[in-house]
Amino acid sequence: MRKEAIFAVILAAAAVLSNAAGAQDKTLYVGAYGGSFEQVMRQQVFPPFEKKYGVKIEYVSGNSTDTLAKLQAQKGSEQIDVAILDDGPMYQAVALGFCAPLTSAPIYKDLYDVATFPSGKAISIGMVGTGFMYNTKYFAEHNWPAPTSWKDLGDPKYKKLLVIPPLNNTYGLHALVMEARINGGGEKDIDPGFKVFKTEINPNVLVYEPSPGKMTELFQTNQAVIAVWGSGREKALADTGFPVGFVYPKEGGVALGVAACAVAGGGNKPEAQEFVQFLLTPEMQTVLAGGAGLGPVNKNVTLPPDKQAGIPYGPAQMEKLLKIDWDTVNEHREDWNKRWTREIEG
């Protein structure tokens, strides 16, 4: 009997140790952008989630292309549990089978339609809008009105004063698609966009610049006074005190969603689904708006006026943002990039 009692105690102790080890091993790997976004996640998003769900979050830093490449390299044994990508690469991730279906939850009923993915396997957790950034002081000094249309990019007065990111950048891709759309084409007929860029817009372009730092420098030195850029990027420059404004063209600004999905395969942890839902709560949406410049996709978020500037906010703005047909774009993008190098920047 004594031996049985001792054995029972040993089994109980082993179970306790096993449970403790299991709790320590409860780790969620989140792959997302570096820089200021990473700091917001580490400082304001992760701590309350870790406390609520008893999980440790490890950050895997990288831009959208990096994270997608990691998923491809780890295929079949994915280490990343939650991926956060720009909407274009996220459509690729879904098509490649890396994203699990979103589990049903009430929070998804609180979102704007622009946040949803047709597949039901990813969701935008915040929104940036592509439009025009311009130097308000320079425009006032020259008595120029603010730009109002995608057609304005071809206005001769902007000769060598315009900056647009290259086509392998989402903002540059948005510009090409919109020029195609307003000239009778679109994602399925991109030729009109290439024609307008080649004949009307290209003479105005100082440089096709993807770097936020370099873009800021070009504006601060007055080498550039107008650019195709994102609302969040403009907000960051405006917050430094530089005289810059942002407008959505009358034909529509373009939605650039920052999207999240629970990664299929690998651990396929329930906490991954819970983390995606957590990012959509009004509290976290407010954090992402203030810290990362993302327009809230949850309809129940109320921001004070000083926090609304520079980001898509509210139904009026969200409903005007146009969505890109990423399935078509991703199918042709490699060919378009080669054509862009040959015809536009060559």
Does 332 or 17 have the greater pLDDT score? 332
Residue 205 to residues 130, 167, 249: CA-CA distances in angstroms? 18, 14, 18
pLDDT of 21 over the 50 cut: no
pLDDT on residue 1:
46
Least confident of 231-235, 241-245, 330-334: 231-235
pLDDT tens, 265-296? 766 789 999 999 999 999 999 999 998 889 99
Residue range(s) occupied by CATH 3.40.190.10 in the chain: 2-127+256-318, 129-254+325-343
The CATH number of the domain covering residues in 2-127+256-318: 3.40.190.10
d(CA 159, CA 72): 42
Write down the pTM of the prediction. 0.81
Instruction: Give 120-143 pLDDT, tens digit per residue.
Output: 999 999 999 999 999 999 999 999
The percent of residues in the chain predicted with pLDDT above 90, rounded, is 77
- Note the pLDDT of residue 164: 97
Give residue 263's pLDDT: 95
Contact 330, 161 (CB under 8 A): no
Give the pLDDT confidence score for residue 90 in this predicted structure: 96
Mind listing the pLDDT tens digit for each residue in 135-173? 999 999 999 999 999 999 999 999 999 999 999 889 999
pLDDT for position 227: 98
Fold of 129-254+325-343: D-Maltodextrin-Binding Protein; domain 2 (3.40.190)
- DSSP lists the bridge partners of residue 60 as 31
Looking at per-residue pLDDT, the higher value among 213 and 48 belongs to: 48
For the segment 328-345, the average pLDDT, to the nearest whole number, is 95
- CB crowding 206-242: b at 16 or more within 10 Å, else e: bbbbbebeebbebbeeeebbbbbbbbbbbbbbbeeee
Q: Does 260 have pLDDT greater than 60?
A: yes
Least confident of 90-94, 198-202, 264-268, 299-303: 264-268
- Mean model confidence pLDDT for the chain: 90
DSSP letter for each residue of 240-260: TT--EEEE--TT--EEEEEEE
11-19: Cβ within 8 A, 24+ apart: none
Q: Are 243 and 135 in contact (CB under 8 A)?
A: yes
Over residues 99-103, mean pLDDT: 96
